[in-house]
Structure 1
Amino acid sequence: MDNALHILTRTDLADIDITPSEVIELVEEGYLALARGDSRCPVKLMMPIPKLERDAVSYSMLGYDGSLEHLGFKTSYRQGSESAAKYYTTISLYDDATGLPFALMDCQRIGAARTPATTAIIAKHAAPEGADSALMIGTGVQGRNTLPYLLSALPGLRRLRLFGTHPDGIAESRAALRRWFPDRELELVEDVPAAVAESDIVVVASGRAAHPKVRTEWLRPGGLLISVASKGVASGALRAADYAIATSTGQLGVTGTRLAGDDDVVIDAELPEIVAGRAPARRDRSDRVFAFSSGMVITDIPVAHALATRAVAAGRGQQVRLWT
């Protein structure tokens, strides 16, 4: 059906194949296009819902991917911060070459792919030389794919460890690693501070912090701490770092100001500039590096487009003429 909007559900997208390496390449190109000035990515708009009896937040992001010539609108609503049961997120894509809407999609699968891809890209550039150990803290949707993505970017990683409290999340984290790297073992840890001190790369994506909040000072010299907008990182973690990275300084100012403690937010480099080779990922090999990862719609758009294109080719979804 010509000039139709493709509507793709979570089920439509669930088994569409895309490898971690492919997603990493798509996300990295998204950052490069932004650094070249070909793309646009305003800071996200976030709004708490003014109801005293429940905790809820909504946000939206708008961006333009200059490589694909697609515009993306992402919206999210979360009712309650302690559970993902009422978290709904969608993305709509518009083809700027034709001016036509292309797809309206559930965005859970997209976020679960581009988030670990961003983590892997940060680690590829900012991990200490010769890094061979990684610790993942958290087993929610945003964290379950992290270790296979890290391995795709840094195949020299030898020791992979996980802290989690939810049996289903732990099982799904194991399954994700096994799918892409069936020969690799995953070690569960209980002592978070000790595990942090023994790891070259630490990724924190825990929602509820069912562990001592991670402090930058726990890192070994040269260690890398990546916060995926996590409540499991101590306030002031950014201030305590020798070198600080953000995917976007503007978005850090919206969603991560507590990490600077009582100080103003000071970022040494943004990830797009690092990927483009215009900024270093650390000053010294002994730097304890802190990186704040906040989702940017210019990384959602290429992943969404790839999944939508494959889903449509497979005959998935519905086609709707909204303007007839």
Structure 2
Amino acid sequence: MTTEGTAMDASPPRNGQPGELRILSQPDLEDLGVSYAQVLRIVEQAFIALRNGDSHNPLKTIVQPADQRSIAYSMVGRDGASETTGFKVVHEFDPQRTRDAYRFHSFIFLCDDLTGQPIALMDVVKLGPLRTSASSALLARAACPEARSALVVGTGVQGRIALPMLLAAIPQLERLMVYGQHPEGLQAVRDELLRLHPQREVEIVSDLQQAAGQADIVIGASGLTARQQVRRAWLKPGAVAVLLGYGIDADVLHGANYRIATDTEQMQVTCTDLADANGHIPPIDAQLPDILLGNALARRQRDDVVFAYNSGMVVTDVALGRYLADLALAANRGTRVKLW
């Protein structure tokens, strides 16, 4: 991957063939020359199109057995910016990691809404982290555009690309920190940053409280088994805490001076674990699409501690999926299947 812009700003090719579906597997989506700067632009355009374009992002449909051994959900969305419709399906087995049998399977089916032709059925292992990290970076840049330091909590897939995506959004960041429990994950964070930014270094921190107190931006990207979470009292005035997984305590949401989210309704569906003892979740002050359009503030006062909630938005999956699919199809990747 690169962080430079590409020629993808031009209208993408329309690659679907009548009656044919292209299957794009994980290997088909590797080494496509994806630009983080372009990913940010596409995700930003998708959020803006929710207000200004013919885009739609209905709430997800979720099913789960009584013993919570699995969770499955589906989403349909339309990105007006690229005239693309998508259907995303996810099945996660052992999501609580209590059976030592974790499995995750997901795909997205994309259709061109100008020609009516299918584009691709594609894996989302690469797509999901890209769009989530881009949304986090947009939230962080909106709330703290002059940031100089950032801390990522977690070293999984999201944690590994969070800092490069933040640098694409906020190039003036000077101090980059990561906190995690797994040596191999910490090394992976270092390796990914070195690959994309050979001149930059990431600082591995062992004292989470101290690091959180020094960071302008804190990204909570840990998994469910996170051992320690950033608390509200640790954050300095003016900091923004962006939660996309775990690693930031619920008391940051409840104690923040200002709260923003990618989407309020989606947050109500996905953040029930952040409610207080009475089941209460504080109201959200602004949503990202309105902030990007200049119709809402990302913070009120310079010293506000801002809590930002990043819930997955299928419209960004659709928009970014179209970008990746166009790159893959232009490179003649994937398996052609005649279904119709």
Q: Normalized against structure 2, the TM-score is what?
A: 0.89
Aligned mate of 2:318, from 298, 301, 313 = 301
Distance 2:227 2:273 in 1: 18
Distance 1:322 1:293 in 2: 36
Q: CA deviation at 1:210?
A: 3.3
1:253 is matched with 268
Q: CA deviation at 1:85?
A: 5.1
Counterparts of residues 122-137 of structure 1 (less than 5 Å): 122-127=139-144, 130-137=146-153
1:120 is matched with 137
Structure 1: any 5+ residue segments left out of the alignment? Answer: none
1:195 is matched with 211
Q: CA deviation at 1:76?
A: 1.1
Contact preservation (8 Å) 1:223, 1:289: yes
2:327 is matched with 310
Distance 1:59 1:77 in 2: 7
Q: Which moved more, 1:56-65 or 1:258-267?
A: 258-267
1:244 and 2:259 matched: yes
Contact preservation (8 Å) 2:136, 2:310: yes
Judged with a 3 Å threshold, the aligned counterparts in structure 2 of structure 1 residues 302 and 43 are, in CA distance, closer, same or farther, namely same
Judged with a 3 Å threshold, the aligned counterparts in structure 2 of structure 1 residues 206 and 310 are, in CA distance, closer, same or farther, namely same
**1:274 partner SS:** helix
Q: CA deviation at 1:234?
A: 1.9
Q: CA deviation at 1:260?
A: 3.9
**2:89 partner SS:** strand
CA displacement, residues 178-216 of structure 1 (integer Å, 9 cap, x when unaligned) = 122110011111111111111110000111343322222
CA displacement, residues 45-92 of structure 1 (integer Å, 9 cap, x when unaligned) = 222233x3x632111111101111111111111112338951112111
Distance 1:84 1:68 in 2: 38
Contact preservation (8 Å) 1:41, 1:63: yes
Q: Which moved more, 1:158-167 or 1:259-268?
A: 259-268
1:60 and 2:79 matched: no
**Amino acid of the residue matched to residue 94 of structure 1?**
C
Distance 1:241 1:193 in 2: 17
Distance 2:101 2:234 in 1: 29
Q: CA deviation at 1:115?
A: 1.1
1:49 and 2:65 matched: yes
Contact preservation (8 Å) 1:236, 1:260: no
1:171 is matched with 187
Distance 2:158 2:101 in 1: 11
1:267 and 2:281 matched: no
Distance 2:228 2:129 in 1: 25
Aligned mate of 2:301, from 280, 284, 302 = 284
**2:284 partner SS:** coil
2:178 is matched with 162
Distance 1:84 1:216 in 2: 34
**1:74 partner SS:** strand
RMSD between aligned residues: 1.7
**Amino acid of the residue matched to residue 31 of structure 2?**
D
1:213 is matched with 229
2:39 is matched with 23
Structure 2: any 5+ residue segments left out of the alignment? Answer: 1-15
Q: Which moved more, 1:274-283 or 1:175-184?
A: 175-184
Aligned mate of 1:151, from 152, 158, 167 = 167
1:104 is matched with 121
Distance 2:282 2:118 in 1: 38
Contact preservation (8 Å) 1:151, 1:157: yes
Aligned mate of 1:184, from 179, 200, 210 = 200
CA displacement, residues 205-234 of structure 1 (integer Å, 9 cap, x when unaligned) = 111343322222321000000000x23332
Distance 1:173 1:205 in 2: 12
**2:88 partner SS:** strand
1:71 and 2:85 matched: yes
Q: CA deviation at 1:37?
A: 4.2
Contact preservation (8 Å) 1:216, 1:290: no
How many matched pairs? 319
**Amino acid of the residue matched to residue 42 of structure 2?**
L
2:107 is matched with 90
1:7 and 2:23 matched: yes
**Amino acid of the residue matched to residue 289 of structure 2?**
P
- Sequence identity of aligned pairs in percent? 43
Q: Normalized against structure 1, the TM-score is what?
A: 0.94
Distance 1:161 1:91 in 2: 33
